[in-house]
Amino acid sequence: MDDKQIVELFFSRDENAIRESAAKYGARLYALAHGIVADRQTAEECEHDTYLEAWNRIPPHEPKNYLYAFLARITRHIALNCCRDRARLKRSAFLCELSREMEACIPAPDDMDSRIDDMMLREILNGFLGGLPEEKRNLFIRRYWYLDSIAEIAERFALSENKVKTTLFRCRRQLREHLEKGGYKI
């Protein structure tokens, strides 16, 4: 079933919407969640909670052209919160590492005045990503959207771990400069 039909099922409040979403994207959503929470049972919970959340959000959202990204964004959000809320998952070191990396992109991490709204940030962020070569962009997104480990990214792109780290380091620096230029003043 194509995405448009699945979204229409959501709109008509037909529970087959969940069944079809799971059949088409369940494995990818589970893999995404598992990559973040590193726990089978929690990953399954994240996947199931994703369908419930999608049920509540469609309508008003109508992600006919980007259903997977829409569901995956929900999964990512739920999985990240699980890592933060459940100490038993022992993911605090993983989150700290990613947060530290992200902090390097922010021109003034503590400065309230430099906060920008989501609309502006979306524009700056996607403008930055649009200017990157495809492989660099994908590498950045695998790390900070899918939250893959360096080893996983190196394997996926057939690069050395050092190469991945260096590329990400340069991307973060470029993003920081891009944010500064985009009005995110120091």
Partner 1 sequence: MRGNDFLDKMELIDPAYVEAADEKPKRKKRQRTTWGALAACFAIMVLAGTGILQEFWAQDGPERDPDLPLLTISEEAEGMGYEGYFAYDISELVNANPWNEETVIDTLPVFQNPLTYDENDVASGGDEGKMRELLLDTAKSLGLNTDQPEVDESEAPAKLKIASAGLEIEVDQALGAEVRFRPAVSLPENYHFTHYASYAEKAAAAAYLQDRYRDFIGFDDPQLNLAIGDYTIYGQQTYDILFFENGKDTEEKILNYNFDLAAFYCDDNGELFIARKWQADLSKKLGDYPIIRAEEAKELLLNGNYITTVPYEISGEEQVKKVELIYRTGRHEACYMPYYRFYVELPQEARENGLKSYGAYYVPAVESAYISNMPLWDGGFNE
Residue 138 within binding range of partner 1, rule CB under 8 A: yes
Which lies closer to partner 1 via its Cβ, residue 16 or residue 121? 121
Residue 33 lies near partner 1 (rule: CB under 8 A): no
Q: How far is the CB of 48 from partner 1 (least distance, A)?
A: 20
DSSP 108: S
Straight-line distance from the first to the last Cα atom of the chain, in angstroms, rounded to the nearest whole number: 49
Does residue 98 bind partner 1 (CB under 8 A)?
Answer: yes
Sign of CA dihedral 80, 85, 87, 88: negative
Q: Are 163 and 154 in contact (CB under 8 A)?
A: yes
Q: How far is the CB of 109 from partner 1 (least distance, A)?
A: 6
The footprint of partner 1 on residues 55-84 (CB under 8 A) is 63, 66, 68-70, 72-73, 76-77, 80
CA–CA separation, 56 and 41 (whole Å): 23
Tell whether residue 117 is a contact of partner 1 (CB under 8 A): no
